[in-house]
């Protein structure tokens, strides 16, 4: 208890030092978290890119923006790839829920969940006649547990299962997109037909991505489309990769470097400043040791002192980040990171106070 | 024959890099209760090292230290802390005061660790009576950084006395004081011996050494006989 009081006194003794130290932690943590967030976003995207690359994905360029003509055979072909073989997916972004016109909706059809790491959020969908609704980490207009109604030709109600992790991403043609602000429906091609009939089929076809598909089958698919009067040019994702996604890689590397440098900088400056804080008090600690304090008591005092300096700015940084809508994972991460530092540093401080040294330290002029 | 403190072939060597410095070489001495002893000798002869070994602040490389006939070579850190708190009162070079504390806070330090624990009122009474004794009660609320050298040394002495120790270990207690103040401080220390305390004092001042009942001269880590 005495050590606790002394530690609080230590903090209040130099209010300016305390404020500056706390400010430093706050700013550094803030940058660190922000960098981590960017980094995660870019990693999620890269993950998806890797999958698309490994699977030799193909998407299509259509000659016209007008209505697409297609045969039943082609629709069946797509349905087989998307639902049974899980070798294709498509993305619909034009769907909106009634009353929620300002909340974007991403409808992932077929193997969308597998490609973008959302498989486990699809657990409810036991067969191809089901769909499940999730929301991105920052969606505010609806909540987990709300029931939404959707469908064009047939209405159906579904409960919102939960939130996707922050920084979930998907790739639509050349762009990496975030799911954080969207309502996300994971569904099958068959279910799509049931609910919307042909209403969104145009978008579905334009946005479909095929992977690991035999090139003869693709050639036949394109030929059949041509026969209906629709020109489709296949685009290999891997070829595009170097043009469009190269910069993503570069960004990710830059971000990683930035993140590592920031972490290093934060860690070094935090360590130096903390050691300085302890050094300032070291003579006093030594005097206490000389006149009867035990090393454990001083350790307690240093711990209380450092935690008292570190907890307020962490709480502040975390609550600000929380309000900005970042995931909970950072919270635990941040707390863990910040608890380790005072522990390590108190040990460094204590090593300066070995019993054979205390008298010399006690004699130093503060 | 019973001695309060006995050293038997107390030896201390320091190794710094390749060099081995023998600071104290096989010193055997006895100290009895209520006596005053001065330790003198040229700079670097091992006075501080010896007094620190006696005060359990520096572990000996070899040899024995007996306090009340109990061996201290195998003592644990808890016991050592207790002796530091209650048996010895240290007056070290440069006063070793905490500059941003006031006089009261400095003198109170040993009482914070007293066993059994003292409450605030008991601590206040003890601090006030010891400040009275060393003659600076009127400065109780002042920051020590504002005090003169002699006043600082009185605060340091008060701190050494506040837990009522048996033995006062003083390392050059008048080192940084002028002649007149040195005499005053020495008289204060002598008065404590008259009350039954045991004084072991390192000094460069021959006059003060003469004022002690016994003078031990050291040279190169050895006693000069
Ligand atoms: N912690 C240490 N590490 C290495 N050498 C030390 C240490 N403490 C003392 N010494 C050496 O031991 C010898 C004796 O030192 P000590 O401080 O005991 O001398 P002293 O008689 O008190 O001198 P002074 O009168 O200058 O205070 C010196 O050579 C000193 O350099
Ligand atoms: Mg000395």
The verdict on A7 touching B (C-beta cutoff 8 Å) is no
What pLDDT score does A261 carry? 81
Q: Is the residue at A334 inside a domain?
A: yes
Nearest to A93 by CA among A202, A16, A228: A202
Mean pLDDT of chain B: 92
Q: Which of A228, A258, A289 is the last residue of a domain?
A: A228
Range of the domain at A143: 67-228
A154 compared with B166, residue with greater pLDDT: B166
| pLDDT tens for each residue of A24-80 | 878 877 777 777 767 776 777 777 777 777 777 888 887 766 677 777 888 888 888
Q: Which of A211-225, B92-106, B194-208 has the lowest mean pLDDT?
A: A211-225
* CB-neighbour burial class of residue B61 (10 A; exposed 0-12, middle 13-18, buried 19+): middle
What pLDDT score does A328 carry? 52
A142 and A101 part of one domain: yes
Q: Is the residue at A233 inside a domain?
A: no
A141 and A17 part of one domain: no
A163 and A274 part of one domain: no
Q: What is the mean pLDDT of residues A164-182?
A: 84
| pLDDT tens for each residue of A310-346 | 888 888 887 887 776 655 565 566 667 666 777 787 7
What pLDDT score does B91 carry? 94
Q: Is the residue at A50 inside a domain?
A: no
Coil/strand/helix, residue B144: helix
A40 and A81 part of one domain: no
| pLDDT tens for each residue of B169-205 | 999 999 888 888 899 899 999 999 999 999 999 999 9
Using CA atoms, how far residue A228 sits from A51, A189, A221, B111, B130, in Å, is: 32, 21, 11, 98, 108
What pLDDT score does A366 carry? 45
Q: Which of A228, A255, A277 is the last residue of a domain?
A: A228
CA nearest A3 in B: which residue? B112
What pLDDT score does A99 carry? 84
Query: What is the DSSP pairing of strand A132-135 with strand A183-187?
Result: antiparallel
What pLDDT score does B41 carry? 95
A249 and A222 part of one domain: no
Report d(CA A319, CA A314) in Å as an integer: 8
A189 and A275 part of one domain: no
Report d(CA B105, CA B115) in Å as an integer: 18
Count each helix (H run) and each strand (E run) in chain B, helices first: 7, 10
Report d(CA B45, CA B220) in Å as an integer: 4
Nearest to A97 by CA among A108, A86, A106, A110: A106
Structure tokens at B208: 């003060």
Residue B37 has pLDDT above 90, yes or no: yes
Mean pLDDT of chain A: 80
Q: Is the residue at A54 inside a domain?
A: no
Q: Is the peptide bond prior to B116 cis by the omega test (within 30 degrees of 0)?
A: yes
Cβ(B189)–Cβ(B183) under 8 Å? Answer: no
Task: State what percent of residues in chain A have pLDDT above 90.
Answer: 5
Report d(CA A11, CA A95) in Å as an integer: 57
Interhelix angle A246-290/A295-323, nearest 10 degrees: 150
Spatial CB neighbours of A143, under 8 Å, sequence gap ≥ 6: A135, A160
Q: Is the residue at A28 inside a domain?
A: yes
A160 and A288 part of one domain: no
- Partner B, chain A 275-294, Cβ-Cβ below 8 Å: 283-284, 286-288, 290-294
A217 and A313 part of one domain: no
Q: Is the residue at A197 inside a domain?
A: yes
User: Element (H or E) spanning B85, and its range?
Assistant: helix B77-86
Q: What is the mean pLDDT of residues B24-28?
A: 94
What pLDDT score does B22 carry? 94
Q: What is the DSSP letter of A289?
A: H
A189 and A253 part of one domain: no
**Total domains in the fold of chain A:** 2
Report d(CA B196, CA A112) in Å as an integer: 91
What pLDDT score does A129 carry? 61
Q: Which of A173, A201, A228 is the last residue of a domain?
A: A228
What pLDDT score does A331 carry? 59
The distance from CA A182 to its chain's CA centroid, rounded to whole angstroms, is 14
Provide the ipTM. Answer: 0.92
B30 compared with A150, residue with greater pLDDT: B30
A80 and A189 part of one domain: yes
Residue labelled with tokens 């602040």: B57
How many CB atoms sit inside 10 A of residue A5's CB? 12
Coil/strand/helix, residue A37: helix
Q: Is the residue at A239 inside a domain?
A: no
What pLDDT score does A188 carry? 87
Record: contact B100-A292, CB cut-off 8 A:
no
Q: Is the residue at A62 inside a domain?
A: no
The verdict on A109 touching B (C-beta cutoff 8 Å) is no
Report d(CA B171, CA B39) in Å as an integer: 9
A253 and A223 part of one domain: no
Residue A265 has pLDDT above 80, yes or no: no
| pLDDT tens for each residue of B113-151 | 988 889 999 999 999 999 998 999 999 999 999 999 999
Reported pTM? 0.71
> Where would I find the beta strands (DSSP E) of A229-298?
232-236
CA nearest A283 in B: which residue? B98
What pLDDT score does A325 carry? 61
CA dihedral angle for residue A138, residue A139, residue A145, residue A148, rounded to 10 degrees: -160
The distance from CA A124 to its chain's CA centroid, rounded to whole angstroms, is 23
What pLDDT score does A125 carry? 53
HSE, CB side, 13 Å, CA atoms: give it for residue A227.
Answer: 10
Spatial CB neighbours of A291, under 8 Å, sequence gap ≥ 6: B84, B85, B90, B109, B110, B113, B159, B163
Coil/strand/helix, residue A313: helix
Q: Which residues line ligand 1 (CB under 6 A)?
A: B 14, 16, 21, 23, 43-49
What pLDDT score does A242 carry? 67
Atom of ligand 1 nearest to the CA of A360: 1
- Partner A, chain B 166-225, Cβ-Cβ below 8 Å: none
A209 and A306 part of one domain: no
């Amino acid at each position: 208890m005495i050590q606790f009081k002394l530690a609080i006194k230590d903090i209040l003794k130099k209010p300016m030092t305390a404020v500056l130290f706390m400010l430093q932690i706050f700013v550094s943590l803030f940058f660190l978290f922000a960098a981590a967030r960017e980094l995660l976003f870019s990693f999620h995207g890269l993950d998806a890119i890797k999958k698309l690359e490994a699977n030799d994905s193909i998407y299509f360029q259509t000659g016209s923006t007008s209505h697409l003509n297609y045969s039943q055979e082609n629709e069946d072909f797509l349905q087989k790839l998307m639902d049974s073989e899980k070798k294709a997916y498509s993305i619909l972004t034009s769907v909106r829920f009634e009353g929620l016109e300002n909340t974007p909706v991403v409808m992932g059809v077929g193997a969308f969940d597998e490609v973008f790491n959302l498989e486990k959020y699809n657990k409810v969908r036991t067969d191809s006649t089901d769909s499940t609704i999730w929301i991105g980490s920052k969606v505010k207009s609806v909540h987990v547990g709300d029931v939404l109604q959707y469908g064009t030709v047939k209405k159906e109600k579904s409960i919102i299962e939960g939130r996707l992790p922050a920084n979930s991403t998907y790739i639509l043609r050349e762009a990496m997109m975030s799911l954080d602000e969207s309502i996300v429906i994971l569904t099958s091609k068959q279910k799509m037909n049931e609910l919307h009939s042909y209403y969104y089929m145009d978008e579905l076809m334009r946005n479909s991505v095929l992977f690991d598909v035999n090139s003869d089958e693709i050639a036949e698919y394109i030929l059949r489309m041509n026969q209906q009067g629709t020109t489709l040019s296949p685009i290999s994702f891997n070829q595009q990769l170097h043009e469009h996604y190269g910069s993503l890689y570069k960004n990710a590397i830059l971000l990683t470097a930035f993140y590592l440098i920031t972490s290093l900088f934060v860690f070094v400056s935090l360590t130096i400043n903390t050691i300085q804080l302890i050094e300032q008090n070291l003579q006093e600690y030594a005097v206490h040791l000389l006149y009867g304090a035990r090393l454990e008591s001083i350790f307690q005092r240093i711990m209380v002192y450092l935690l008292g300096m570190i907890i307020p700015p962490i709480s502040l940084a975390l609550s600000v980040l929380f309000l900005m809508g970042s995931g909970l994972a950072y919270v635990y991460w941040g707390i863990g990171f910040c608890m380790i530092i005072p522990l390590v540093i108190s040990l460094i401080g204590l090593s300066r106070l070995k019993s054979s040294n205390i008298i010399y330290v006690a004699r130093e002029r503060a | 024959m019973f001695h309060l403190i006995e050293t038997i072939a107390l030896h201390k060597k320091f190794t710094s890099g390749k060099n081995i410095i023998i600071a104290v070489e096989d010193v055997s001495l006895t100290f009895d209760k209520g006596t005053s002893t001065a330790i003198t000798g040229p700079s670097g002869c091992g006075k501080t090292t010896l007094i620190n070994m006696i005060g359990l602040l520096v572990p000996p490389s070899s040899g024995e230290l007996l306090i009340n006939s109990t061996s201290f070579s195998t003592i644990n850190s808890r016991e050592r802390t207790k002796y530091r708190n209650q048996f010895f009162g240290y007056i070290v070079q440069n006063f070793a005061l905490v500059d941003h504390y006031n006089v009261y806070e400095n003198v109170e330090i040993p009482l914070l660790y007293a066993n059994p624990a003292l409450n605030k009122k008991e601590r206040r009474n003890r601090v006030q009576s010891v400040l009275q004794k060393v003659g600076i009660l009127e400065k109780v609320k002042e920051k020590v950084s504002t005090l003169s050298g002699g006043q600082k040394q009185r605060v340091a002495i008060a701190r050494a006395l506040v837990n009522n120790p048996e033995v006062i270990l003083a390392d050059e207690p008048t080192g940084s004081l002028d002649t007149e103040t040195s005499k005053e401080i020495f008289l204060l220390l002598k008065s404590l011996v008259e009350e039954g305390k045991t004084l072991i004092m390192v000094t460069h001042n021959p006059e003060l050494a003469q004022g002690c009942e016994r003078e031990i001269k050291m040279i190169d880590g050895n006693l000069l006989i």
